[in-house]
Structure 1
C-alpha cells in the first residue's frame, strides 16, 4: 500500500476509533516520510489511547514544535496540555512543569487566543494535586467560558475543572451541576476520545468521593458501554476507568468481576505511564481480598498501595483488626484521623474508626460515639444517601454497644433501607446483623433469627467469608473442622501461648499438645502458629476480641 493510501486508511480508522489500525497505518506512513502536523497529532492520540505513552510523548513534542514554529500558538498549546498530562501520569513532574513553563512563554505571543485556557487548566490541576483548592477555584473562575470557540475539548475540560474546583471548595450542588454539564458534552460525542476518558474518570471519581453513588453508577454504566465500543482503548484513562468500575462493582456485590477489573487496572497502570494512579488500583484489590478473607493477598496488595505512594488506610487498619491486632488498628486509625481535616475525606475514614474503636472498648464506647456523631454531622451537611446510611449504621452500632438496643433500631433500619435502595448488598447485610443483635438483646429471638439468616444468605452469595463465619457463630451453625479440644488449643495459640503454656492451662502433656497442634495445622492447611491464628480469626473459629 502506498503512503497516501496508508494515511487515508489511518484517518478512516481514527474516525471510527479503531486505534490499533489507525496507529499502524499512520506509523507506516511516518516511517516512509514525516507526517504533516495534523496527522502527527492523530498518531499521537492513537498512541495515547493504546497505552503507548512513550510514543505519544515523542509525537506530541514534535507536534508542539511544528505548530510553534509555524506560529499556530493555539494548536501548540493544545499539544502542550496533553503532553504535560502524560508526563505527570508517568511521574515526571519536573519534566511536565518544564513543558508548562515553555507553553506559558509561547502563550504570551498570542494572549488572546482561546487555547490560552489550556495553560490555566494545567495550573488548576497543579493546585488540585497540591490540595490548594482555594487557589484552584480562583484559577477556574478566570478561565474563559469558551463556548463560542471551536475546541469542544477545551470547553468540556474547562467545565469539568470548574466543577471539581467548586466541589472541593464545599459548593457541592453547583459543582455537581458543572460536572453533569461536562458529561453531557461527553454523551453528545463532541469531544475527543482521550478527553472523553479523562472526563469520565474525573467525574465518576468525584461522585465516589462525595458518596453520590447513584450518579456514579449512572455515569459508570455509560462509561462501560463507551469502553466496550472500543476494545483497543488500553491507555492510562482506561486503567483509571477500571479502578472506578472495580469500586462500583464491589459496592454492587459483583466481587469476582470487581477483582478482575482491579487486577487489569493494576497491570495497565504499572506498565509505564499511570504509576501515579496505580496505588488506587492496588487499594481496591486489597479491599476485595480483605472482604473475602484472603488476608495474605490483601496484605500484599496494601503494601503495593503504599509502594505506589497511596495511603492504605482505612483498609489496612481494618485488616489488622480482622487479624486480631486491635491496638495496631486503633493507633493507625487515630493517626490518619489526626492528619485528615477535610470533612468528606474524614467521612471516608469515620465508619472504619467506629468499627475499630468499638472492638477495642475498655471503658465504654465514648470515643466511638464522638466519631459517630461527627459522621452524622457531615451527613447532615452534605445529604448524600450513602453518607446518611453510613451515619445511621455507625450510630446504631454505638447505641447497641451502649446497651441501648431499642434506640439502636431506628437508625439501623433507616441505614438498611438506604443501602438496599442504593443496591449495596454487603453493607445492607452488615446492618442486618446489627439489627439481629439488637432484636436478640430485646429478647425478640424470632426476629433476630430472621435478620441473621438474611444476612447469612447475602454473605454467602457475596463470598464474604469472615462475615459469614461470624453470623454462623452467632446462630450456632458454624461448621468446624476441629474437635472441641482442638478448638481450645487453637484459641490459646491465637493468644500467643506456647505448647508448654497450653499444656499447663488444659492439664495435658506437652506431647499431647504437640499432636493437637500438628492435627490443627493439617486440618486448616497451614504450616505455622501465626497462620493458624490468622485462619481462626478470618473464619470465625476464634473471636477476634480474644486477642489483646
Structure 2
C-alpha cells in the first residue's frame, strides 16, 4: 500500500508544481520498484526544475530507453528532444545535437505525422536565426506552429509564436514581432503550457525586449516572471535569469544598491551550473555597477569573469580603461568592438560608449558617424530610450564643436525623454552637459542649477567616478578657463609641440600612437585657429597656456 500511495503523492505534487516534493516522492517510488516511463519523465522534469543538473539528463535518457523498450517511438523521440534542449542550455552542444538527431531518426520511421516533427523544427529555426537568416527562421517557426495547431499542442504553438516574433524583430518588423511575443506570454501567464516551456518563453521574451530597448515590456514581463518564480519556491533554472533582468531594470531606474544585491545573488546562483549563458550577463552587470561606483578593481575582475562565461566585456571594459586614464587602450578596444559588430541590436549597446570615447579622444568625425548610426537603429527599433541617447549624443557632439546654444536645444530634448523613461543616471549625465552648455553661454545661474542637480543624483546613486569628474570640472571653471577649448590630452601634446618634438617623439613620450598624435595636433590647430605648429606654440606662450 505504501509504494502506490507514494507514487500518487508524487504525481499530485508534480501537478501542483511542488517540484522538490515531486522529486523526493517520485524518487522514493522509483527506488522501491520499476515505475512507468511517464513517471520517469515526471521525475526527469522535477530534477531539472529543482536544479539537479547532473541527474536530470540521466533520468531523461532512462525515460527515453524505457519508451523504446515498450516500442513507443514517438514518446522516446519526445524525451530525446527535451534531453537535447536541456543539454544545449547546459553548453553540451555536441551531445545535444546527437539526441536531436536520434529524435529525428525515430520519428522518420513513424507512419503518421506527430507533434515531435514540429518540435524538431524549432532548433533548426533557431540555427537560422543565429546565422542571421530571420526569413528562413520565420519559415520554420511557422511550419512548427502549423503542426502545433494540427495537434492542438499549446507548447509547440507557443514556441512557434515566440520564434516568429523574434524572427520578425530581426527583420525590423517591430510591432508585428512584439505582438507575437505578447501572445506567447499570454499562454504562459494563463498556465496553458508546461513549466519547462513557460520558463524558456519567459526568459526569451524578456531578453528580446531588452535587446530592442522595449523597456516597458521588459519591465512588465520581468515582474510577471518574478511572480511566477515566487509561486514555485523550489524552482531553480529560471530564478537566476529573473534576478539578472530585475537588476537591469533597477540599475536603469537608479536603484543601484538593490541592483547590486540582486545581481550578486544571480552570480552565485547561475555560476553553480556549467554552460549557463545568463551567468555572463550577471557578471557583466555586476562589473558595470562596480565601475559606475568607482570600484575599478572589482569591475575589472567581474568583466573577466563575464568573459569566461562567454559574455564579451565590451563596451564596459573600454569605459573602465577610459576612467583609469588609459585613453589609447580604451580607444583601440572600442574601435575594435564597433568594427566587428554588425548586428544592430548588439551595436546599439556599443555605440553610446563608442561616441563618448571618440569625443574624449577628440575624434569628432567618428563620433558623428556613430551618432548617426545610433539614431538610425533607434528609429528602426522604435525605442524611446535609444532615441533619447542618440539625441544626447548629437547634443554632446555639437557642444564639442563649440555651438552651445544649438547643443542646448538637443540636450534639453534628450534630458526630457530620459527623465520620462526614468533613467536616473543617464538623465544626470545629460544635465551635466546642459550645465556645461549654459556655462559656455555665460548663464552662470542656470549652469549652477543644472550642475548641482546632476551632482545630487550622482551622490544619491553613489556614482563616485562621475562625482570626481564633476568636482574637477567645477574647480576648473571656477578658476577661469586657460585651456582655450583644448582637452587635457591636447594640452599635453601642445606643450611637447612647443619643445620642438616630432609626432613620433611625442607618441613615444605619452605612450600613444603617432596617428593619434597627428589627430591631436590637427584638433589643436583647428581649435586655436592657427595655421602651423609654430603659430600654435606662439599662441600658447602668448596666452600663458604653457
How high is the TM-score relative to the length of structure 1? 0.83
**Residue of structure 2 in register with 1:462 after alignment:** 461
User: Could you give the per-residue CA deviations for residues 401-459 of structure 1, whole angstroms, max 9, x where no partner exists?
Assistant: 11111111222222212222211111111111111111111111111111111111211
Cα distance, 1:215 vs. partner?
0.9
**Residue of structure 2 in register with 1:163 after alignment:** 165
Contact 1:53 1:86 in 2 (8 A): no
**Residue of structure 2 in register with 1:320 after alignment:** 321
Contact 1:306 1:312 in 2 (8 A): yes
Cα distance, 1:73 vs. partner?
4.2
**Residue of structure 1 in register with 2:354 after alignment:** 353
Q: Which runs of 5+ in 2 are unaligned?
A: 478-488, 494-546
**Residue of structure 1 in register with 2:267 after alignment:** 266
Partners of 1:283 and 1:375 in 2: CA distance: 22
Partners of 1:352 and 1:239 in 2: CA distance: 27
**Residue of structure 2 in register with 1:309 after alignment:** 310
Cα distance, 1:18 vs. partner?
1.8
Cα distance, 1:132 vs. partner?
4.3
**Residue of structure 1 in register with 2:219 after alignment:** 217
Map 1:225-236 to 2 at 5 A.
Answer: 225-235=227-237
Contact 2:172 2:381 in 1 (8 A): no
User: Could you give the per-residue CA deviations for residues 459-510 of structure 1, whole angstroms, max 9, x where no partner exists?
Assistant: 12211111122233334599xxxxxxxxxxxx9xx99xxxxxxxxxxxxxxx
Cα distance, 1:368 vs. partner?
0.9
Map 1:123-162 to 2 at 5 A.
Answer: 123-145=124-146, 146-162=148-164
Cα distance, 1:144 vs. partner?
3.2
Contact 1:77 1:118 in 2 (8 A): no
Partners of 1:323 and 1:405 in 2: CA distance: 28
**Residue of structure 2 in register with 1:481 after alignment:** none
User: Could you give the per-residue CA deviations for residues 319-346 of structure 1, whole angstroms, max 9, x where no partner exists?
Assistant: 1111111111111111111111122321
Partners of 2:312 and 2:236 in 1: CA distance: 26
Q: Does the residue aligned with 1:403 lie in a helix, a strand or coil? A: coil
**Residue of structure 2 in register with 1:98 after alignment:** 98
**Residue of structure 1 in register with 2:542 after alignment:** none
Partners of 1:162 and 1:5 in 2: CA distance: 44
How high is the TM-score relative to the length of structure 2? 0.83
**Residue of structure 1 in register with 2:532 after alignment:** none
Map 1:20-99 to 2 at 5 A.
Answer: 20-99=20-99
Partners of 2:81 and 2:239 in 1: CA distance: 19
Partners of 2:374 and 2:342 in 1: CA distance: 13
Change beyond 3 A, Cα 1:305–1:425: same
**Residue of structure 2 in register with 1:208 after alignment:** 210
Partners of 1:131 and 1:242 in 2: CA distance: 29
Partners of 1:63 and 1:22 in 2: CA distance: 16
Q: What is the alpha-carbon root mean square deviation over aligned residues?
A: 2.2
Contact 2:74 2:106 in 1 (8 A): no
Cα distance, 1:360 vs. partner?
0.8
User: Could you give the per-residue CA deviations for residues 128-157 of structure 1, whole angstroms, max 9, x where no partner exists?
Assistant: 344444442332233233235343222211
**Residue of structure 1 in register with 2:434 after alignment:** 435
Partners of 1:409 and 1:67 in 2: CA distance: 70
Q: Does the residue aligned with 1:341 lie in a helix, a strand or coil? A: coil
Deviates more, 1:252-261 or 1:199-208: 252-261
Cα distance, 1:88 vs. partner?
1.2
Cα distance, 1:200 vs. partner?
0.9
**Residue of structure 2 in register with 1:378 after alignment:** 377
Partners of 1:366 and 1:477 in 2: CA distance: 27
Contact 1:64 1:75 in 2 (8 A): yes
Partners of 1:432 and 1:67 in 2: CA distance: 65
Cα distance, 1:376 vs. partner?
1.5
Q: Does the residue aligned with 2:369 lie in a helix, a strand or coil? A: helix
Q: Does the residue aligned with 2:145 lie in a helix, a strand or coil? A: coil
Cα distance, 1:275 vs. partner?
3.2
**Residue of structure 2 in register with 1:401 after alignment:** 400
**Residue of structure 2 in register with 1:366 after alignment:** 365
Deviates more, 1:273-282 or 1:149-158: 273-282
Contact 1:210 1:344 in 2 (8 A): yes
Contact 1:81 1:122 in 2 (8 A): no
User: Could you give the per-residue CA deviations for residues 153-209 of structure 1, whole angstroms, max 9, x where no partner exists?
Assistant: 222111111111221232222211111110010111111222111111100000010
User: Could you give the per-residue CA deviations for residues 263-315 of structure 1, whole angstroms, max 9, x where no partner exists?
Assistant: 22222222234434422221111111111111101101111111222211111
Contact 1:302 1:312 in 2 (8 A): yes
Deviates more, 1:453-462 or 1:327-336: 453-462
Contact 1:379 1:388 in 2 (8 A): yes
Change beyond 3 A, Cα 1:386–1:113: same
**Residue of structure 1 in register with 2:509 after alignment:** none
Contact 1:137 1:169 in 2 (8 A): no
Change beyond 3 A, Cα 1:136–1:443: same
**Residue of structure 1 in register with 2:470 after alignment:** 471
Map 1:280-319 to 2 at 5 A.
Answer: 280-319=281-320
Contact 2:77 2:102 in 1 (8 A): no
Partners of 2:121 and 2:255 in 1: CA distance: 40
Q: Which runs of 5+ in 1 are unaligned?
A: 479-490, 496-548
Partners of 1:477 and 1:399 in 2: CA distance: 21
Cα distance, 1:79 vs. partner?
2.2
Partners of 2:257 and 2:3 in 1: CA distance: 47
**Residue of structure 2 in register with 1:537 after alignment:** none
